[in-house]
Structure 1
Amino acid sequence: MNREGAAPPSVRKPVPSAKQIKTAQRSLASGQLPPGPAQVKAQAAAKISAIRSARAAGHTSKVAVTWKARTRAAARAVQSVVRAARGVVAAIAAGGSIVLSIVVVLCLVGVLLASPLGILFAGGGSGPGSVSPSEAVAQINGELAERLEQMQVDADCDRLEVMGAPPPWPEVLAVFAVRQSGSAESGSPAVLDAAQVEALRTVFWDMTKLTSEKKTVEHPASGSAAAWTEEVLSVTITPRTPDDMRVFYQFTAEQDQALDALLDNSELLASLAGDLTISSQAAKDLLAALPADLAPERRAVVQTACQLVGKVRYFWGGKSLKIGWDDRWGTLRQVTAAGSSTTGTYRPFGMDCSGFADWVFYNTSGGEYVIGHGGGAHAQHTYCTPISWEEALPGDLVFYPGDEHVGIVGGRDEAGDLLIVHCASNANNVVITGKSGFTSIGRPVYYRE
């Protein structure tokens, strides 16, 4: 929305030349990533891709063994897969045999997928009724914020203070996977469906302790302002550690071994919680229906937008100029930007509508282009050329009256009606909807020749 607050001057970048834009697009298309943290995420992405490829290829054990034996083998496989996946990344970078390297990984992840621990890697949200770990994490993060808000309502307090933080998601996922391994009886991993998400939710709340204290705060008179009081609810979030959960769930020696192996490779689990793999079926359908002759830069914009569908919550004033997943997303933060009914509340950090559009174009251009140039939806509109609805193409921008909201044209449905990808406050997430509410459309100068 336009009232979201401007980004700091450091993010205000000039409009690049057409040559700069095309260079950035070629870099993105070739898979080049900036050094540093991105390399770590590339390794984690390679691990996840290898594991899911093995799942798709049917690398599951047909041998009847006990869940204890499978868990023990999986504990060793986790470490072997990580080492092998790192080798794949290094081999590819050095120009080595990609096929041979991947075959090594696939042989190892077959052991992992045959164990109940494979639930975190099975399907990736691609099966009927299944969701990706990142979607499940986003859902549960939102439920934490809702519970805090309800605690304030129940206590009839004017203000909420929150101290502490929930347990890191890699730890929650590790405990969840190991706990499920202790109750699984089948030889192949289940998918992360509604029942498994409920089990994950149970683990999260078993590891998250909330305590509260209601207090009255006296504010003395100041100048012409009279003295006043307010009721404040102070909530403390205390995380339980994986070691606490070993005792709480009475893990066996085999489960302890598996938990240690997973915790030793927390970067892999962190990447699952923040996976940019397109998992929403609606997003997959939208991409499959894109015109074959659509310009590559437009296709890249829509693909990038679809990466966050169902995964990042709406956060008033939320911005992110980071290539790839922003580790702040999902962490509990107070809304400080003025102008919203959510101002002052605690919510999972995410983006607002213009922040989402900025992130999409920033990532598509490899960090070379900020479509809002530091402003909100109105600023983004000023960097667009007005067009008619009949001229709409995937990647164009659409706006509410007064530039109160912005979305990205994703494509058309079977009836030929426009589909919009946007970070919506009413849905509290990145969603794909029709164009209801959007009254104007513009073509970003980003696409200029």
Structure 2
Amino acid sequence: MQKIRGASRGIGRLTDQTTRAAAQSAAARGAVQSAKEAAAQAARYQQTAKAAQTAVQKTAQAAGRALRAILAAARSLLAAMMAGGSTVVSMVLVICLIGVLIASPFGIFFSGEDSGTGYTMPEAVRTLNGEFTDRIEQIKAENPYDELDMDNAGSAAMISNWRDVLAIYAVRTTTDDTSPDEVATLTEEKLDILRQIFWDMNAISYWVETISGDKDESDTVILHITVTVKDHLQMADEYRFNAEQRKLLEELMQPEYQELFMALTGSYQDIDLSPEEIQEIIKKLPADLSEERKQVVLTAYQLLGKVNYFWGGKSLVLGWDSRWGTPMKVTAAGSSSSGTVRLFGLDCSGFVDWVFYNQSGGQYIIGHGGGASAQHSYCTPISWSDAKPGDLVFYPGDSHVGIVCGFDSSGNILIIHCASSSNNVVVTGKIGFTTIGRPEYYGE
């Protein structure tokens, strides 16, 4: 089974799969037996979890073990179904236990998909991150200044406590008499609760300082912006959590839940392409295209529609960069966004660097540390008629760069690039791109 990404994603589809599996032969009885044993273990934890409901959540560690048992059972069930086994009985046990956990603070891990309210947790996180950056820009706009001191508000550390925020939200939502009693469904009311907790834990303050100039100099106005970041322990004290709530909070902060929280906050995303997506991309590629070029194109498509445009944004990270989507100050000069706070991502050359770095397994940086102009310098000029997927294309003056990613049904060139106008990685035609080069990387 792949990495668990928001527990509902892998488990939520199991019911349909089970229905199909029940109609198949029981050829894999050994696998089925293993699945039943795992589900039976989960069922034993169900009794403890039910007791927790009537004992005001006094069994946080047992609930945590129950969640882990569900995940283990799900792995076995999936393996059994793939082998053609019937797993209906085991599946019912697991689904029952899931229902119990959804009503507990661990239901936060089932909030990664829209359950009919129009909200998912990653979308809520992006919304609040956006409100955070908007508030900083509003303060700057309303307070003219000569110098800006943003303290930790200018770094990725601004919102470094999303896991703490969500853990506090999960406990408070399921144990506070004044709050809704289920955390898995993200309604408008619960989004407001999450927003309140978020701002309590990431408070923005500011003050204006005026330094008198010398006789021939004008005064200097300094705008100071500070973000006061609080962790889960500080908030447990501030919200006066009782002993049972603190036990639940302690369990949620255990290391084994790190990836689940990362999935909910969007700081981890599965960027692997599905077999169907790969086939659609390959349809747009020449049949005789080299495997190396094909992998460059497939790697580029992994970020399609997933990464914000950020002036000066670079990343030499294999896979998903956890900084993407985090509010950060634009420090690179030369853009209208310089000095503002935006959701971190990639610029055009940063995207191209990431693609070749990842395709090569971290062995090659196509621009050798420079931007689009440097990337162009490591290319051999070619004509548009000789274009192949994987070649680089440039705007006049190397002001923008993209990667040829295929041809449409009419034979027109398709370009994948990180575009400021779309604030994302997009696929377009060649309009705007005037020159094309063949990277030395291919050795052709």
Contact 1:51 1:109 in 2 (8 A): no
1:402 equivalent to 2:397? Answer: yes
**Aligned twin of 1:57:** 14
Contact 2:6 2:111 in 1 (8 A): no
Contact 2:402 2:415 in 1 (8 A): yes
The alignment partner of 2:309 has SS state of coil
Q: Which amino acid aligns with 2:371?
A: G
Pairing of 1:250-399 with structure 2 (within 5 A): 256-265=246-255, 267-269=258-260, 271-272=262-263, 273=265, 274-278=267-271, 287=278, 289-292=280-283, 293=287, 295-387=290-382, 394-399=389-394
Q: Return the match for 1:168 from 150, 158, 161.
A: 161
The structure-2 alpha-carbon separation of the partners of 1:365 and 1:121, relative to structure 1 and needing over 3 Å to count, comes to farther
Pairing of 1:27-176 with structure 2 (within 5 A): 46-48=3-5, 52-58=9-15, 69=53, 72=57, 76-79=62-65, 99=79, 111=97, 114-115=101-102, 117-121=106-110, 133=122, 137-164=125-152, 165-176=158-169
What is the distance in 2 between the residues matched to 1:229 and 1:88?
66
**Cα displacement (A) at 1:364:** 1.7
**Cα displacement (A) at 1:147:** 1.7
**Cα displacement (A) at 1:132:** 6.9
What is the distance in 2 between the residues matched to 1:305 and 1:421?
7
What is the distance in 2 between the residues matched to 1:385 and 1:127?
52
Identity %: 43
**Cα displacement (A) at 1:297:** 3.5
Q: Return the match for 1:239 from 225, 229, 251.
A: 229
What is the distance in 1 between the residues matched to 2:379 and 2:187?
41
Stretch deviating more after TM superposition (248-257 or 207-216): 248-257
**Cα displacement (A) at 1:219:** 5.2
**Cα displacement (A) at 1:379:** 1.6
1:425 equivalent to 2:409? Answer: no
The structure-2 alpha-carbon separation of the partners of 1:88 and 1:119, relative to structure 1 and needing over 3 Å to count, comes to closer
Post-superposition CA distance 1:208-228 (Å, at most 9, x none): 11111011134558xxxx523
The structure-2 alpha-carbon separation of the partners of 1:85 and 1:357, relative to structure 1 and needing over 3 Å to count, comes to farther
Contact 1:321 1:362 in 2 (8 A): yes
Stretch deviating more after TM superposition (234-243 or 361-370): 234-243
Contact 1:77 1:108 in 2 (8 A): no
Larger relative contact order, structure 1 or 2 (CA cutoff 8 Å, min sep 6): 1
The structure-2 alpha-carbon separation of the partners of 1:207 and 1:338, relative to structure 1 and needing over 3 Å to count, comes to same
What is the distance in 1 between the residues matched to 2:191 and 2:407?
31
The alignment partner of 2:12 has SS state of helix
Q: TM-score, normalised by structure 1?
A: 0.67
Provide structure 1 residue ranges, at least 5 long, that are not aligned to the other structure.
1-42, 90-97
Provide structure 2 residue ranges, at least 5 long, that are not aligned to the other structure.
19-41, 153-157
The alignment partner of 1:148 has SS state of helix
What is the distance in 1 between the residues matched to 2:194 and 2:372?
37
Q: TM-score, normalised by structure 2?
A: 0.67
What is the distance in 2 between the residues matched to 1:407 and 1:344?
26
What is the distance in 1 between the residues matched to 2:279 and 2:388?
15
**Cα displacement (A) at 1:429:** 3.9
Contact 1:167 1:240 in 2 (8 A): no
Contact 1:318 1:355 in 2 (8 A): yes
**Cα displacement (A) at 1:370:** 0.7
Post-superposition CA distance 1:395-436 (Å, at most 9, x none): 443322211112234456678765544333344444455544
What is the distance in 2 between the residues matched to 1:246 and 1:309?
40
What is the distance in 2 between the residues matched to 1:110 and 1:76?
16
Pairing of 1:175-190 with structure 2 (within 5 A): 175-181=168-174, 189-190=184-185
**Cα displacement (A) at 1:320:** 2.0
**Cα displacement (A) at 1:338:** 2.6
What is the distance in 1 between the residues matched to 2:426 and 2:225?
31
**Cα displacement (A) at 1:251:** 6.1
The structure-2 alpha-carbon separation of the partners of 1:169 and 1:443, relative to structure 1 and needing over 3 Å to count, comes to farther
